Structure 1
Amino acid sequence: MGRGAGNKKEISPEVADEGTERGNWDNQCDFFLSCLGYAVGLGNVWRFPYLCYKHGGATFLIAYIIMLLVAGLPLFFLELCIGQYSGKGPIKLFGRIAPAMKGLGHAMLVITFLVVIYYNMIIAWTIFYTFAGFTSELPWSACENTNLFSQNCFTVPQEKACFANNTLDTFWNKECTAVEKLCESQNMTLSNYIDAKQRHMCTKVYDKVVLNDTSVCDIVFLRPQVANETGVFCGTYYNQTQITCAYLDKSAGQYVDEITGNITCTNVHRELQLNKVYNRISASEDYFKRAMLGMDEDTTWENMGGIKWELVLCLAAAWIIVCLCLIKGVQSSGKVVYFTALFPYLVLTILLIFGCTLEGAADGVIFYVYPTYEKLQDLNKVQVWSDAATQIFYSLGPSFGGLITLASYNRFNNNCHRDALLIAFANCGTSIFAGFVIFSIIGFMANSAGLEVEDVIKGGTGLAFIAYPDAVSQMPVPPLWSFLFFTMLITLGLDSQFTMTETITTAAMDQWPQLREHKGKVVAGASLIGFILGLSMCSRGGIYMFELINWYSASWSLILLSIIEVILLMYGYGFKRIFENIEEMGIKLPTFMKWYWMANWLCLTPGVLFFVLIMNFVQYTPAYASNIVLDEYYFPGGIQALGWLMAALPIVFIPCISVLQYRKRKNLGLSTSWRAMFTPNSKWGPATMTNAPAASKEKDPSYINEGFKYVAETNYL
């Protein structure tokens, strides 16, 4: 190993056989599209938009881009380098770089395994929607008079139809209802006023309201300015604060306190638009929670309900697809990605063009990209940075082991530097692009419901299954667009699922080479195990198990693994050796990029991730999910403990495997010194010379470890 070492040594027949057995990409386009498909997944159109929505749009976008530059991209390139150089999966790779850190590869696989279990559940949901859309009218396009839709279900077309039939009617309780009846159901009365859209309003009466000098017009309990009303603004000033929307009416008991300057109102009548009278729920949100998930008002962790067999069948279909596409290894999956990696861009572009034509789309886009002063204050919250870092890991996939696995099937002299830059920016560009799509739709939904953009949807992981379906139901020939959209979601999910499942099966076959002759059985076995473990998410309360795994499986533990990985490679293996390996693969780095990688790998990346990790504990928030009744249903204490155990499980593998390696080396009479345990063993080397004699490596001066300044001793583990 070292500069030029790869060209000096002959490739042994054993290595050639090993490479043939293990498999390689047929061409570099297969690898590039597989990497792109792995990076560009459901996280771009499902997880990224809902995190943007959760953190106020532009705030999260800024944090996301910064985390890409200082954490995501450096780790992405680093893993492509070491995977391509070694030609091994994560377990073998880290076991050969530093025997004591072999558990790092196991830890990555544990996280990948946990994500694989729930990730395929999202694909199962998309399969459910795909088949549900095979109707002349999409089932989530209207509030049907069934128990699958709630009393507060609301759609604009149905409301317009009711208003056209009778101006005193509105759509409520899944039918045309008199506004007066709706007001009475909410302990209000029918108002004498109408709003700007000529809809009747409800009046709510308060015995007494005191407005202090900090009140502003959009939150006071006073009559708003409406279409058919005239009046005199009070224009009262107190401490330089102008109250601009209060009407003084002494006969109604409104007066200004001469001592405090506060406006005190008695017997206040507040005129409310109907969208403020009750919490309107879109038909698509009702369908997602009630029809697809099967949730009820009393569904909690303690009351999960029975199995929803439609979801079981969809989950089985998802795993069958994964199994069939991977059963022949990278040669088969490499061809599938020609369709799965490119098709989503076509559908997203069409949805964006259509979304921009919808009324109110601009409001959603402004919410997404415009950084107001209030939003920028949220950058002080560590949760924003933690979610941005986690999303980068979900998007690009470092520290899951998938990138190492994909690169390990590469040609030794492939330009993975070019691939890393193109794929990383294409991935994040796709996230931002998908954000424009979904926020244009959310803006339309807010305009239709008469709500602010931040209030139109409760958010949560179902955001993409609420906003997108609502959009396709508005398009011409809705069933056709529904089919195209959910097919796109399936292809997005499968790309990432292929790589994560391949990571697990590759690790197994690298560990036990005899399994390579039974590759189909290994893939089928992994798929069966994943299906069985995913059944817990097919119950009517399965969304809670889904959220628990989503919350804890790849949270702080993933960030900690990344810190350990970059420190091991930079200060244990040696950053100079990394650059020599890059040169050995024939990759020429521009001076600026070399300094960029060095600054991040040695300082910025571990430093930023360490800060996020610490603050993740300091500002810990218990796991919760959005259900039918509550926006934030917090899981019981015992379940939170289960989540912590899940998060800690991957980390436990590192010291445990290290102890096993120590005992194994001691039993074989090999050195167990600190240096020996953290020094590359005799099997470490370029992929073209895995079995080269250890003596030739020991003489190579590049084997001097940057961290220990120590020449590697012979190490057979």
Structure 2
Amino acid sequence: MAHQRGKWSSRMAFIVASIGAAIGFGNVWRFPSLAYTYGGGAFFLPYLLALFIIGIPVLILEVAVGQFYQTGDAGAFGKVHPRFRGVGLSSIFAAFVVTTYYCVLLAWTLRMFVYSCQGSENRWKDVTGKQANDWFVGVVTGLSTAGDNIEPTRLVGPNVAGLAVTWIFIYLCLAFGVKWTGRIAYVTVGLPIAILIVLLVRAVTLDGSGDGVKAYIGEWDMKVLSDQPAVWSEAVTQVFFSLSVTFGIMTAYASYNNRNDPVFTNSIIIAISNSLYSIVAGFAVFGTIGYIAHKEGKTVDDFKDFSGGPSLIFATYPVALSTLPGHGHWERLFFIALFLLGIDSAFALAEGVTTVFRDSALLRRFHHAITTAGVCLVGFLGGLLFCTDSGLIFLDATDYYVNFMMILIGFMECFSIGWIYGIESQISTLGWMPVVAYMAATFGPVCLASGFWFGANSDEIMKGFVSLVVSYAVLMMGVFYLCYRVKQKSSEDITWRRILVELFMGNVLKLRKDLVGVVRYIPVLWFFMVRHLLPQLLLVLFANLATANNDDTRARRKFGHYSNYPRGYQALGITVFVLACVIIMVGMVFPRAYACFDRSTITENELSVEGEEVESAV
């Protein structure tokens, strides 16, 4: 029997499920919070640049490779080059880490929903935003019982129960194949969008909402873009997180498409829908904050400490809803929408992991439902750390270091497609020395300039640009000399035009020929960007993020000192990041180490077994 693989019931099912994966908690709290923190409307400049220059191209990349190779992240990047299987595995490792703490947010949501259903009295009456925040942090997350050094002392029972229920939901969404996942997504995406529209209309009609909207987008403090350079990296990580790229999700989802589905059109629809939701959600959120400030006789700035992060949706927003007629219904409606938003992203993250395992020779013989159950069980156990009374701190610290993983994985994905794909053809034409020398001439100056831009004397911007230009010019002279030697030694009458085209664009021209014949139209500009712009930009942004300082009097580097949390929390986050690096490096040094994740290693007999299982499951 020929090998068969599950498919979406329709192209629309893929688009809706992908939008659901992209839209999540970060759209409701993180995006508006970043806009408020970084100059109001000024934040839209780095955000939109990050979206169109980096986010959408990386989304196109992931959808294209998943759809073209019809497999998950590890298999897809392993087909780009065997030494890059580790890049795909590092992305699903990042997805698994995020899922473990993301599901705890859903557990908190379930707990808040239960609170809103208990009794008819208004529990938020006459409660200030600060009091609600203190209650959420102390009681719901359990932080009030943490040790003197905020070390964990116990598991918070209700949160563990909520976590278990969440993972059961995820299992039920995934266990019956992508056709069922697509059908579920119509509800889990459509209903929250409808509820958001209702909340938006209600929010902007409240007294004082204009002050909140002004804080969100009405202020344009452009100095932030130069005084706080971390805003550029924050914008990229927000785009990556909200588009669900670098987690293996889009590669996995696209692998269930028909190979000739329109990659470019689908990617644009997904990206624009996600960003519109983020922007619209910001009006609803900050309109509500403006109303609370007006009600309490304060300014929006007085809510700065709890106008972002979990406190925004688990404390500030419920207080605002409690003042409306029929407050209980508004609260329950809000938490239902929040849970549906989050469960989409959660089961998408889990799907990125399960797809890679199901496509591997290791777990090939196991039924889809069994593999999914195993991933869900391990995810539940991993999430228990975030259900301790210090879970909020564990979550915040881990989430910060995941930012480094996202940018690193994004760089490696772009590097593999823009520089490694088709490199054998380049080497056969030019030899390995010019090819490697050109890599060094491209990325060496970027690293050198980043040292000036973000090093100890980070104000030396001009020196950075000078070093970039001079070092690039010097190294390129060496590259041209090596190309001259190739021309002199060539037995063919090779022209300079052929040499330069092969050197600068040879592999991506091959990529274009291979892709466009299958996945339809992709702009020529994308192929140029994935080689000559995206990897270099992501390298600079990684250096920018790594050298950002805490916003306190000591101004120490955030890396290793994030929010000045105790060393144990820093160690956890750094360990997670280092493990992602190790996964990548092992694959590069030992390309056969992850061979079991390559679909080509699966025997014909195993393919026949899988075909029977897919037919029965789907």
For the aligned pair, the TM-score class normalised by the smaller chain equals 0.7 to 0.9
- CA offsets, 1:224-268, max 9 Å, x none? xxxxxxxxxxxxxxxxxxxxxxxxxxxxxxxxxxxxxxxxxxxxx
CA contact (8 A) 1:85 1:581 kept: no
Shift of 1:136: 4.5
Pick the aligned partner of 1:414 from 261, 278, 282: 261
- Greater strand share, 1 or 2? 1
Pick the aligned partner of 1:440 from 282, 287, 303: 287
Q: Give the distance between the partners of 2:293 and 2:20, measured in 1 at CA.
A: 32
Q: Give the distance between the partners of 2:28 and 2:358, measured in 1 at CA.
A: 33
Shifted more, 539-548 versus 317-326: the winner is 539-548
Shift of 1:99: 0.9
1:33 corresponding residue in structure 2: 16
Q: Give the distance between the partners of 2:345 and 2:88, measured in 1 at CA.
A: 19
Shift of 1:328: 1.1
1:608 corresponding residue in structure 2: 537
Counterpart mapping for 1:158-557 below 5 A: 281-296=129-144, 301-372=149-220, 374-459=221-306, 460-462=308-310, 463-512=312-361, 515=364, 517-552=366-401, 554-557=402-405
Counterpart mapping for 1:572-583 below 5 A: 572-573=420-421, 574-583=507-516
2:60 corresponding residue in structure 1: 77
Pick the aligned partner of 2:3 from 13, 18, 23: 18
- CA offsets, 1:100-121, max 9 Å, x none? 1111111111111100100111
Shift of 1:95: 1.4
2:74 corresponding residue in structure 1: 91
Shift of 1:599: 4.3
CA contact (8 A) 1:301 1:635 kept: no
Say yes or no: does 1:130 pair with 2:113: yes
CA contact (8 A) 1:300 1:541 kept: no
Q: Give the distance between the partners of 2:511 and 2:123, measured in 1 at CA.
A: 53
* Alpha-carbon spacing, 1:465–1:56, altered in 2? closer, same or farther (3 Å): farther
Say yes or no: does 1:584 pair with 2:524: no
Secondary structure in 1 aligned to 2:359?
helix
CA contact (8 A) 1:124 1:318 kept: yes
Shift of 1:439: 0.7
CA contact (8 A) 1:537 1:545 kept: yes
2:588 corresponding residue in structure 1: 658
Shift of 1:298: 6.5
- Greater helix share, 1 or 2? 2
Shift of 1:89: 0.6
- CA offsets, 1:20-51, max 9 Å, x none? xx311121121111111111122111322232
- CA offsets, 1:657-684, max 9 Å, x none? 233326899xxxxxxxxxxxxxxx9959
CA contact (8 A) 1:622 1:640 kept: no
* Alpha-carbon spacing, 1:138–1:569, altered in 2? closer, same or farther (3 Å): farther
CA contact (8 A) 1:57 1:367 kept: yes
Q: Give the distance between the partners of 1:633 and 1:381, measured in 2 at CA.
A: 16
CA contact (8 A) 1:138 1:473 kept: no
Shift of 1:493: 0.8
Q: Give the distance between the partners of 1:294 and 1:663, measured in 2 at CA.
A: 42
Say yes or no: does 1:109 pair with 2:104: no
Pick the aligned partner of 2:409 from 553, 557, 561: 561
* Alpha-carbon spacing, 1:345–1:299, altered in 2? closer, same or farther (3 Å): farther
Secondary structure in 1 aligned to 2:71?
coil
Shifted more, 331-340 versus 458-467: the winner is 458-467
**Mind listing any 5+ residue stretches in structure 2 that lack a counterpart?**
422-506, 555-561, 602-606, 609-618
Q: Give the distance between the partners of 1:357 and 1:465, measured in 2 at CA.
A: 22
Q: Give the distance between the partners of 2:168 and 2:100, measured in 1 at CA.
A: 14
Q: How high is the TM-score relative to the length of structure 2? A: 0.77
Shift of 1:385: 1.2
Shift of 1:338: 0.8
Pick the aligned partner of 1:637 from 525, 547, 567: 567
Shift of 1:576: 1.6
Q: Give the distance between the partners of 2:571 and 2:12, measured in 1 at CA.
A: 45
Shift of 1:539: 2.0
1:715 corresponding residue in structure 2: none
Which structure is larger by alpha-carbon Rg, 1 or 2?
1
Secondary structure in 2 aligned to 1:341?
helix
* Alpha-carbon spacing, 1:325–1:300, altered in 2? closer, same or farther (3 Å): farther
Shift of 1:637: 2.8
Q: Give the distance between the partners of 1:532 and 1:102, measured in 2 at CA.
A: 26
Shift of 1:317: 0.6
CA contact (8 A) 1:301 1:544 kept: no
2:430 corresponding residue in structure 1: none
Shift of 1:514: 5.3
Shift of 1:545: 1.1
Shifted more, 42-51 versus 417-426: the winner is 42-51
Q: Give the distance between the partners of 1:135 and 1:303, measured in 2 at CA.
A: 31
* Alpha-carbon spacing, 1:360–1:294, altered in 2? closer, same or farther (3 Å): same
Shift of 1:368: 1.1
Shift of 1:312: 1.0
* Alpha-carbon spacing, 1:663–1:488, altered in 2? closer, same or farther (3 Å): closer
In structure 2, what residue type is equivalent to 1:580? K
Shift of 1:577: 2.8
Q: Give the distance between the partners of 1:295 and 1:461, measured in 2 at CA.
A: 16
* Alpha-carbon spacing, 1:109–1:73, altered in 2? closer, same or farther (3 Å): same
Shift of 1:66: 1.2
Shift of 1:354: 0.7
- CA offsets, 1:281-329, max 9 Å, x none? 5443233223312332875554433222111111111011111111112
CA contact (8 A) 1:382 1:612 kept: no
Q: Give the distance between the partners of 2:120 and 2:593, measured in 1 at CA.
A: 66
In structure 1, what residue type is equivalent to 2:31? F
In structure 2, what residue type is equivalent to 1:73? I
**Mind listing any 5+ residue stretches in structure 1 that lack a counterpart?**
1-12, 144-153, 156-280, 625-631, 666-680, 685-689, 692-717
Q: Give the distance between the partners of 2:587 and 2:203, measured in 1 at CA.
A: 52
CA contact (8 A) 1:24 1:409 kept: yes
How many residues align structurally? 506
